[in-house]
């Protein structure tokens, strides 16, 4: 039986502590070859000798150990070569596909839009309320209308008459006034056209 020599050592505080001597790698039979990869596996999953490990030996029969590589076509990867062409501005500069509502892509700056050096997209300011000058002029030229008596304005801007006589919006007082004016005009016309006659009694026969 191998006896391990125990040694005592006093630490900085004066306490004696027991320690074991460090075992050198050469003291373990075959350890140097195992560390350097020169020794053969003795036994793996019941196999002996120069064993070649398989997924079954490690219990990974159903595990996926191979994954497909991502590609430029299927995954839209920007390769280092393509990126370098973009940086250098070479003839083969990578061109982004046109952007759609479903996917990102290249866009062009349209009318009344601007892009800063930092890539910030903004709308060009035309007026304080960002109306076009033409629209601003039209709005300023509109006259303000107010609803008077017997007039109503709906929420959609429709103007209607609100007369209460049931005769298409004309009030009864208006009808009475016009009727009296017509009677007076007819009476005056009659008086002007028909002369006055005077009858006198002369005698009896």
- C-alpha to C-alpha distances, 147 to 126, 142, 152, 162, nearest whole angstrom: 34, 16, 6, 11
> In the chain, pLDDT over 70 holds for what percent of residues?
62
Per-residue pLDDT at 28: 65
The region of weakest confidence among 40-49, 74-83, 194-203 is 194-203
Give the mean model confidence (pLDDT) for residues 62-87. 74
DSSP characters over the chain: -PPPPPEEEE-TTS-EEEEPPPPPGGGSTTHHHHHHT-SPP-EETTEESSPPP-TGGGT-TT-----PPP-HHHH----HHHHHHHHHT-TT---PPBP-SSS--B----TTEEE-TT--EEEPP-STT---HHHHHHHHHPPP----TTEEE-TTS-EEE--SSSBTTB-HHHHHHHHHHHHHHHHHHHHHHSPP---------
> Could you report the per-residue pLDDT of 137-171, keeping only the tens digit for each?
887 777 777 777 777 778 887 887 776 555 555 67
> Could you report the per-residue pLDDT of 17-53, keeping only the tens digit for each?
776 666 666 666 666 665 565 666 666 677 766 677 7
Q: What tokens does 20 get?
A: 């074991």
The model's confidence at residue 91, banded by pLDDT at 50, 70 and 90, is: low
Say which residue, 88 or 166, is predicted with more confidence. Answer: 88
Per-residue pLDDT at 22: 67
Per-residue pLDDT at 111: 82
Give the mean model confidence (pLDDT) for residues 196-203. 61
């Amino acid at each position: 039986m191998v006896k391990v020599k125990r040694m005592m050592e006093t630490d900085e505080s004066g306490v004696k502590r027991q320690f074991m001597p460090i075992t050198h790698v050469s003291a373990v039979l075959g350890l140097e070859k195992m560390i350097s990869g020169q020794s053969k596996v003795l036994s793996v999953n019941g196999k002996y000798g120069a064993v070649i490990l398989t997924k079954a030996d490690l219990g990974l029969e159903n595990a996926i150990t191979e994954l497909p590589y991502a590609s430029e076509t299927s995954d839209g990867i920007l390769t280092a070569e393509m990126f370098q062409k973009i940086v250098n501005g070479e003839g083969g500069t990578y061109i982004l596909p046109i952007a759609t509502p479903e996917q990102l892509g290249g866009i062009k700056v349209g009318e009344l839009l601007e892009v800063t050096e930092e890539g910030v997209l903004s709308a060009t300011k035309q007026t304080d309320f960002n109306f076009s000058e033409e629209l601003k002029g039209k709005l300023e030229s509109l006259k303000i209308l107010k609803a008077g008596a017997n007039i109503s304005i709906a929420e959609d801007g429709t103007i209607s008459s609100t007369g209460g006589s049931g005769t298409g919006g004309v009030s009864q007082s208006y009808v009475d006034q016009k009727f009296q004016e017509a009677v007076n005009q007819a009476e005056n016309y009659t008086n002007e056209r028909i002369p006055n006659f005077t009858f006198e009694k002369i005698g009896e026969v």
